[in-house]
Amino acid sequence: MSGALPGAHPAPGVPDVPPAGPPVRLGGRTVGVDHPLVMAVVNRTPDSFYAAARHTDGTVDAAVDRAVAEGADLVDIGGVRAGRGPRVDVAEEVERVVPVLARVRRRHPDLLLSVDTWRAPVARAAADAGADLLNDTWAGWDPGVAEVAAERDLGLVVSHTGGARPRTDPLRVTYPLAEGAPGDEAAADPLDGVLQDVLRTLAAGARRAVDLGVHPRSVLVDPTHDFGKTTWHSLHLVRRTQALVGLGHPVLMALSRKDFVGESLGLPPEERLEGTLAATVLAAWWGARVFRTHDVRAARRALDMVAVLRGDRAPERTVRGLA
């Protein structure tokens, strides 16, 4: 790091720092060794819950360029809204995302690219266009997505939705506490039922991916806040980040402007940045590795500060009181 003076200690050890998950392997290289990764959201959906993330053919290139300039490590391009909305078939989803992926790959050859899809045909077309990561937010609903990741040596996001079908919203979902299941070291908290279910699901999905041939550090596990969960569930999973890190794979957190943040603070999506950053900082301190965000610059600076506080990297400058 720049700015360290001769004889100074650029990164003194920080006691009692929670362990982080392993660094991420994507695009044939290891990334995020000394800092969490910022995954920029670029949606090709006209009905995204956050209006500022909706991009047309005329704005998507500028959105990617801005994300790169603001410090994104990878860009996640999606073509279908996660929640309920008009039907989007495979052909339309491909048309929304694949030309963008191909164009971004030509314009930014070293940028890591992700596609947000749960459909194997879209994943395969995205791989042909240069994707490095398949972000399956619907927990292997189409098992062929993991097979594409293995065949093409791509990364894979393993997620948890509590068995919900794609593009459905949760309704009175419950997760009973199972005696003797993973996570029962905190069994006094009834909300650990959701933690147990998440740990079991993510462990099984990661194991299947590795058995298929996906590199263990290319498997990102995502508790998938809000998907098949109440606000109480999502809050609890942030608090239990260290249990997720204990699975041994890089942990991805998709917290950005989600409903659990909005309901906690009583705010609409447009006003959820500060709440998102608070949850982001805690999860990063507890060892999560990748953060999917609509706000690249703010997330980049917050996560870099966490990395310095953890002792994972040195400050950019250390001249105060020394010169």
* Residue 249, in any domain of the structure: yes
Cα–Cα distance measured from residue 25 to residue 30, given in angstroms and rounded to the nearest whole number: 4
Give residue-wise pLDDT tens across range 227-274.
999 999 999 999 999 999 999 999 999 999 999 999 999 999 999 999
pLDDT: which is higher, 205 or 46: 205
pTM of model > 0.85:
yes
- Residue 2: pLDDT band (50, 70, 90) is very low
Residue 210 lies in a domain: yes
Answer whether residue 51 is part of any domain. yes
Q: How sure is the predictor about 303, in pLDDT bands with cuts at 50, 70 and 90?
A: very high
Residue 321 resides in a domain: no
> Is residue 179 situated within a structural domain?
yes
d(CA 280, CA 230): 19
The CATH number linked to 194 is 3.20.20.20
For residue 213, the enclosing domain spans 33-164+174-310
Q: Which amino acid is at 47?
A: D
Q: How many domains, the chain?
A: 1
CA 13 → CA 19, 26, 94, 309, distances in Å? 13, 28, 48, 10
The answer as to whether 12 is a domain residue is: no
**What is the pLDDT at residue 176?**
93
Quote the mean pLDDT of the chain.
92
Would residue 16 count as lying in a domain? no
Q: Could you give the C-alpha distances from 52 to 134, 194, 201, 254, 292, in angstroms and in order?
A: 23, 31, 32, 17, 15
